[in-house]
Amino acid sequence: MACLSPSQLKKFQEDGFLLLEGFLTADECMAMQQRIGEIVAEMDVPLHCRTEFSTQEDEQLRNQGSTDYFLSSGDKIRFFFEKGVFDKKGNFLVPPEKSINKIGHVSPHQDATFLYTEPLGRVLGVWIAMEDALLENGCLWFIPGSHTRGVSRRMIRAPAGTSFLGSEPAWDSNLFVPLPVRRGGLVLIHGEVVHKSEQNLSNHSRQAYTFHLMEAAAGTVWSPENWLQPTTELPFPPLYI
């Protein structure tokens, strides 16, 4: 198994993120994209579940909070859409394959806002570029070193869906640095590092595959207030025991 070099580990610890170039081959990316294409082609979203995804607090509460489609998405394939994808009746205004938000932009946030553990520092995001993700088509941006400041706000389950504890600071946009990634590159994302991606206004899609890992050893507690909870049908699968 490949390991991080001491200098890579140091960089991750300092910055809160790390790019590993060429993690997947172009063929592996294409195979994954083909499978994503099949899933999107077969997607069937009930009209009342045409939920737009946003990390803006108000919209999140309105669009996701009371929506069972979102809260029960942890062990299923569910679809979340960019703004302006649907008309008022819920019909697609853009081709469905261009509409999926999780392959789109997100406002500044820390993953621990949504995936909270005690102690902190036990969640790691993995983000793999299926296509080049560059400045012009919505690459990731980070505030280096911002993972050492704790968590500004938390999204928790509430009787009506979800609500927030705390608030997202107005992050200084000058502190963000872009991280262009070529196809097949993998980005490790510390659970508390502040990151975002801009809207992709170019003609080039930038599909990415992303998931999160939790270090379950040493008494880590996955908050029972997190929106995402393991189910009996799909407990969080251990990577190794």
Note the residues at the interface with Fe ion (CB under 5 A): 111
Residue (111 or 198) nearer to Fe ion, CB? 111
Shortest CB 226 distance to Fe ion, Å:
14
Q: What is the CA radius of gyration of the chain?
A: 18
Measure the CA–CA gap between 22 and 96, rounded to whole angstroms: 29
CB of 191 to Fe ion, least distance (A): 9
CA distance 222 to 236: 11
Q: Based on CB atoms, which residue is closest to Fe ion, 15 or 111?
A: 111
Contact present, 128 and 209 (Cβ < 8 Å): yes
Burial class from Cβ neighbours inside 10 Å (0-12, 13-18, 19+) for residue 241 reads exposed
Q: Which is nearer to Fe ion, 86 or 154 (CB)?
A: 154
Q: Which amino acid is at 159?
A: P
Report angle CA 144, 145, 151 to the nearest 5 degrees: 115
CB of 174 to Fe ion, least distance (A): 20
Cβ closest to Fe ion, residue 111 vs residue 131? 111
H or E element in which residue 14 lies: helix 6-15
Complex with Fe ion: residue 127 or 222, whichever CB lies closer: 127
Minimum CB separation from Fe ion for residue 78, in Å?
A: 17
For the bound state, the minimum distance from the C-beta of residue 109 to Fe ion, rounded and expressed in Å, comes to 6
Give the nearer residue to Fe ion in terms of CB position, either 131 or 192.
192
Distance CA(152)–CA(1), nearest Å, equals: 35
Residue 86 has a CB neighbour count (10 Å cut-off) of 19
- What span, in angstroms and rounded, lies between the C-alpha atoms of 234 and 164? 26
Tokens of 2: 């490949």
Query: Shortest approach of Fe ion to residue 208 CB, angstroms?
Result: 11
Residue nearest to Fe ion (CB): 111
